[in-house]
Chains A and B, each alone.
Chain A
Amino acid sequence: MEELIEQLKVQIIEQLNLEDIEPDDIDPEDPLFGNGLGLDSIDALELIVLLEKEYGIKIENPKDGQKIFFSLKSMAEFITENQKN
């Protein structure tokens, strides 16, 4: 899980063009949206593309993203669960 979280940090920074942010700046438990990294609805869609491209997981309803992308931790848990199946 730790490793996955570190990997996700790098991928998110790359995919969302967070050029001023270093992996260590992101706390795995902090909310990604709203105040945290200040992500918005387009970023959520980019994260859906990331999940499909990097982890082969497809999300059909964008509303599901709210829960999955709450934090890095929730995202990593979701990936771990869905890759097992």
Chain B
Amino acid sequence: MSSKIVVTGLGIITAIGNNIEESYHSLVNQKSGIGPISILQTIHKDNFVLGEVKKSQDELIEMAEVDPQEPWTRTALFGIIAAKQAFNDAGLDKSKGKIGLVSATTVGGMDRSELHYTSFVHDAVFNAFIDTHHAGDSTEKIADQLKIKDYLTTISTACSSSLNSIMFGARLIKNGIVDKVIAGGTDGLSKFTLNGFNTLMILDKDQCRPFDASRRGLNLGEGAAYIVLEREENAKAEGKKIYATLSGYANANDAFHQTASSEEGDGPFLAMKNALDKGKLSPEDIDYINVHGTGTDNNDLTEGRAMIRLFGDKLPAFSSTKAYTGHTLGAAGSVESIISILSLQNNTMFPNINFKEVINEIGIKPISKVEKKELQHVLTNSFGFGGNDSSLLFSKYVGS
């Protein structure tokens, strides 16, 4: 029995599109979703730019096709919208084996909690939102909508959360716990995160410039992305289209600092190397890397150093797509997994917009225009606070 895990469904909503087609269109046209704040109610409205999904609460409820009387957080609504797309795209059928849901989030229902926080104490009008605060709420809501009962769990490991949910989903299948998995992550923007990242002084007031010498920090974004994983023979038996093979994955700890990466990127290096080992591939097999590339001083420098350590002078083409979507935190890993899969499928690498000048210390240059090339193996990185570093390896599907 083949143990290949393949991707058979995709779903996404971010600042650059409400579905796969819109997202792809924005990427090839180099259209960023980052701009002035118009949805989040914050005193920093004029100080920062964000990758907001420009939809009101009512519009999201309509898109998600859910009961407007229930308490919904943006985090849950994004999750439902993207997970439904993936579910339908893969034509999942509950009569054909067990289905699991592995969903990541970092702030959970904070977007509504902070709006209704004072009301919780003074009157009971919004008290239904108290139960939507915890990280598991969005996962439960998605599962309810898709009627998934066999297995659900929530992962919260900072910015690497949703790469970890895909990795965990693959293991659930390999260990025979479920047959198919919807894996990814969701996060709605909140004052909580904006203010928090502001205290760390790693927010750029303009559009972020990953891997550029003049980079000043990241832009926060929001959204959700999910992929459907299943065994190759399953997908073939049901005659499904196969987007890609998940050929390797790894997680490691940087063991250096709560928020900063180690000088030489030890954790990032281990994550990438172990993902290649898992996929039985060597560095020269990699055609493209969708890097973590947040645009902070520390990340880009140390991620770059880790890449140079692993790939030497044969560094593959790479780019960060954070300047399109913003950093979507708990959704970032799955958003960028989908972008990586779109690259593989279309043999197209999306440029690292806003890049102008190489970082002196590392001297490496991301791709800066849309490039077409036959792609076989694509690596994607997500590194999180707490030193939680992950890499996934997607490969073009070749039938066996």
Contact = CB atoms under 8 A, between A and B. Distances in A.
Assess A/B contact in the complex (Cβ within 8 A). Answer: yes
A45 interface: yes
Chain A, interface residues (CB within 8 Å), range:
under 10
Contacts of B259: 41-42
Nearest to A40: B257
A42 B386 CA distance: 13
A79 interface: no
A29 B56 CA distance: 55
Interface in B196-212: 199-201
A13 interface: no
Nearest to A46: B199
Contacts of A41: 257, 259-260
Interface residues of B, number: 7
A62 interface: yes
Interface string B147-186: 0000000000000000000000000000000000000000
B199 A49 contact: yes
A32 to B, nearest CB: 17
A45 B199 contact: yes
Nearest to B202: A62
B258 interface: yes
A48 interface: yes
B258 A45 contact: no
Chain A facing B: main interface SS = helix
A48 B258 contact: no
Contacts of A45: 199-201
Interface in A35-81: 40-42, 45, 48-49, 62
A40 B262 CA distance: 13
Contacts of A62: 201
A45 B196 CA distance: 12
Interface string B345-358: 00000000000000
B358 to A, nearest CB: 19
B201 A42 contact: no
A83 B199 CA distance: 23
A41 B260 CA distance: 8
Nearest to B258: A42
Interface string B255-273: 0011110000000000000
A45 B200 CA distance: 7
A48 B200 CA distance: 10
A52 to B, nearest CB: 11
A54 B49 CA distance: 29
Interface string B333-353: 000000000000000000000
Nearest to A63: B297
Most chain A CB inside 10 Å of its own CB: which residue of B200, B201, B258, B260: B201
B384 to A, nearest CB: 16
A15 to B, nearest CB: 13
A41 B257 CA distance: 9
Contacts of B257: 40-41
A42 B201 CA distance: 10
A45 B257 CA distance: 14
Interface in B254-305: 257-260
Interface string A11-39: 00000000000000000000000000000
Nearest to A44: B201
Contacts of B201: 45, 48, 62
Given A40-B257, A42-B258, 12 more contacts: A40-B260, A41-B257, A41-B259, A41-B260, A42-B200, A42-B259, A45-B199, A45-B200, A45-B201, A48-B201, A49-B199, A62-B201
14 contacts: A40-B257, A40-B260, A41-B257, A41-B259, A41-B260, A42-B200, A42-B258, A42-B259, A45-B199, A45-B200, A45-B201, A48-B201, A49-B199, A62-B201
Query: What are the 10 closest A-B residue pairs judged by CB atoms, nearest first?
Result: A62-B201, A41-B260, A45-B201, A45-B200, A45-B199, A40-B257, A42-B259, A42-B258, A49-B199, A48-B201
Interface of A: 40-42, 45, 48-49, 62
